[in-house]
Structure 1
């Protein structure tokens, strides 16, 4: 599949190169009086250059921020400056001939905030002349990258995060359930909107689809994926009871949380018999599945084994009622073959109170969803070309196939985290933080593509 994508991109670049070779040859063979750049520019047509599209060279009447345009016409030789919506845009003179030129719409180009007299215009300036054409410039297409709770009950409000989420007018939930009322959004930056979950959302789950002033978008296919549940402590999945693991009798079911509340049984990582966790200790609490589950039989019917691993994730719900900062983290384990303290192999250390390399208090008002792509697990985070099959085989070859979590309270260095290189120590301290988890599940991160130009 990747080979086809790469080939497609090369075809697009080759096609684009051919267009410019033709343009240069045409220019060299013409007797145009503007060879020195003195004549006015005429723009006949604007094309969108998109090597990822089935139509890599498409005539268009509008473009979005970040897109690459080819202007076709005459007199482009000698163009010194280009202004899009009044914003000076850079271009490479190598890709300028008398009959065409390339320019990318900068992500900094103003759209609705542009001055009215320059909004939706492209202005080309030469030493002795200039030309302005009308051309619609739209904001970047909206994106969705996170949802506050992806396994909510009907009637609960969720917050959807992303970019370009301005004037969201419609949300369609998995199963085709449509909501057009009660949607509130971030009017200033378009970074989120809120909506109440309706009845009738499909238990198979999938993507949210939204329509907004900036266009349409899908979320990853991680919403309401009940068939992906590994363990919910209420009958879906089997809790492992061995060694020092948390038992069924140590679970809690009292409703807790504001807004999004708990669902049945859930796990307190520090139960009432433990006042606090001592400093410098690993594996101070642990909870596992029984190890009898088959991820292949349960998940490959909707996440094929050849799915790129970056498109598969572990989700769980978490509730932290009091600030958590400075000590302690969750170790998520693909198999039960670790003793604690590891920063490599089939584990991932979840430390939500580290933000931009600094310790920042973390707490939640209600239950919220954490999404961990499997390529964040240290075994698979080296940039390799992994698939879901690699993960399945890793678990199937293990002696102890239990999936689970440790709560660890040991020292670590910021450089232990793959995203940081700074040598900063975070010494542990005694902590009485309470962390609750629930609804462990495997989900797809595949995101359907919305295009302005349906094929």
Structure 2
């Protein structure tokens, strides 16, 4: 039988085209990654493309052939990502907080490198230095002339620290550590006002959410001098600087020389400070989230503390539904250490950390649940022993206050 050549030719052409397309598709599948743009993950900001971002930014890398990614590097620093969300067109990733920048490593590449199973590519992208962040201040009520330590991050290019009253301390008077996490500085000798503290740096300015040098005003529950009435009981108050040096006026103190395990008599053994009812939070602010506020006080632990718990509660009559915070600074993870301070230190406890069931249950769902409809309550801190009892503990306490924990914008 003769073959019709005219009928075979079109079929060969079609097969050739299919083979060509298959080859193109195979080439595309095996092609190295291509980046077309970087944008924020936030769906309301899909058009926000950029070529630079700070560490910690969650972004989407968009392009072609991004599937089967194996590694991604920002300035040669590895970044983790979830492969579940990795497609040929998108790669969702967070710039690692530890990514080097031109500030911490002047010779950084300013590149993103993407390695896939079918190739790799390098693309221009600048990781810029994040602005400074203040995490804590060693003593927020230090006396003028005293040295304090500011703990945080990104303390690079700091030009000045501004204390309340617009008192500026320039960079010749302090030096951050090389990691940019600590600054030791002296409180200006002429500081008399209370207010936020600010750090001014090349890459931004940060300000404490709560005022420092704050011993009187809204939210101060007791300063042991002229705010509220110290109800006394087994603890006491004094202004004797030989007991706890560096004090500002009167302070309360707990002097424990032995508490039997299981004994919760807060009125005995020098173990309790009780404060009369006062305004914790103004009624107008009670609808705010519980996490917006924190309890603060200064503490001076003169003798090593390694056992027992300080129970802190808005009321004196503990019940299963009462909200309590268990303060145990001698616990570091699963380890126990001798906790002792060299002077007065500020303690910060978010109100969201107060819990039912003697401090081990649920957080308060609202400020009203924690404090009552008027935002008022008492205050008690009491030392309780573990089952084997508690030895000698000597603790000074001052300037008990509730302040905003919300960052200043």
TM-score (normalizing by structure 2): 0.77
Q: Quick check: 1:309–1:388 contact (8 Å CA) kept in 2?
A: yes
Q: Quick check: 1:37–1:126 contact (8 Å CA) kept in 2?
A: no
Partner of 1:154: 144
Q: How many residue pairs were aligned?
A: 375
Q: Supply the distance in 2 between the matched residues of 1:252 and 1:378 (Cα, whole angstroms).
A: 33
Q: Supply the distance in 1 between the matched residues of 2:361 and 2:296 (Cα, whole angstroms).
A: 21
Q: Quick check: 2:355–2:363 contact (8 Å CA) kept in 1?
A: no
Q: Quick check: 2:303–2:392 contact (8 Å CA) kept in 1?
A: no
Deviation at 1:237, TM superposition (A): 1.5
3-state secondary structure, aligned to 1:47: strand
* Root-mean-square deviation over aligned CA pairs: 3.6
3-state secondary structure, aligned to 1:233: coil
Partner of 1:406: 382
Q: Could you tell me which of 290, 297, 305 is aligned with 1:316?
A: 297
Q: Supply the distance in 2 between the matched residues of 1:411 and 1:95 (Cα, whole angstroms).
A: 49
Partner of 1:67: 57
TM-score (normalizing by structure 1): 0.70
Distance 1:386 1:223, change over 3 A: farther
Q: Quick check: 2:73–2:112 contact (8 Å CA) kept in 1?
A: yes
Q: Supply the distance in 2 between the matched residues of 1:81 and 1:432 (Cα, whole angstroms).
A: 55
Where do 1:32-431 residues align within 5 Å?
36-39=28-31, 41-50=33-42, 55=45, 57-74=47-64, 76=66, 81-91=71-81, 95=85, 100-107=90-97, 109-111=99-101, 116=107, 119-125=109-115, 130-138=120-128, 141-174=131-164, 176-181=166-171, 182-187=173-178, 189-198=179-188, 199-200=190-191, 202-203=193-194, 205=195, 207-212=196-201, 215-225=204-214, 226-227=216-217, 228-241=219-232, 244-246=233-235, 251-254=238-241, 261-270=246-255, 276-280=257-261, 281-282=263-264, 283=266, 284-285=269-270, 286-291=272-277, 293-295=278-280, 299-300=281-282, 304-326=285-307, 328-338=308-318, 345-379=322-356, 382=361, 386-393=365-372, 402-408=378-384, 410-412=385-387, 427-429=388-390, 431=391
The Cα offsets for residues 5-43 of structure 1, whole Å up to 9 and x where unpaired, read as: xxxxxxxxxxxxxxxxxxxxxxxxxxx868733445543
Deviation at 1:435, TM superposition (A): 1.0
Q: Supply the distance in 2 between the matched residues of 1:133 and 1:215 (Cα, whole angstroms).
A: 27
Deviation at 1:446, TM superposition (A): 0.8
3-state secondary structure, aligned to 2:294: strand
Q: Supply the distance in 2 between the matched residues of 1:384 and 1:361 (Cα, whole angstroms).
A: 29
Q: Supply the distance in 2 between the matched residues of 1:127 and 1:289 (Cα, whole angstroms).
A: 66
Question: Greater strand share, 1 or 2?
Answer: 2
Q: Where does the alignment leave 5 or more consecutive residues of structure 2 unmatched?
A: 1-23
Distance 1:407 1:200, change over 3 A: same
Q: Which structure would you say has the larger Rg? A: 2
3-state secondary structure, aligned to 1:310: helix
Moved more, 315-324 or 107-116: 107-116
Q: Where does the alignment leave 5 or more consecutive residues of structure 1 unmatched?
A: 1-31, 413-426, 450-455
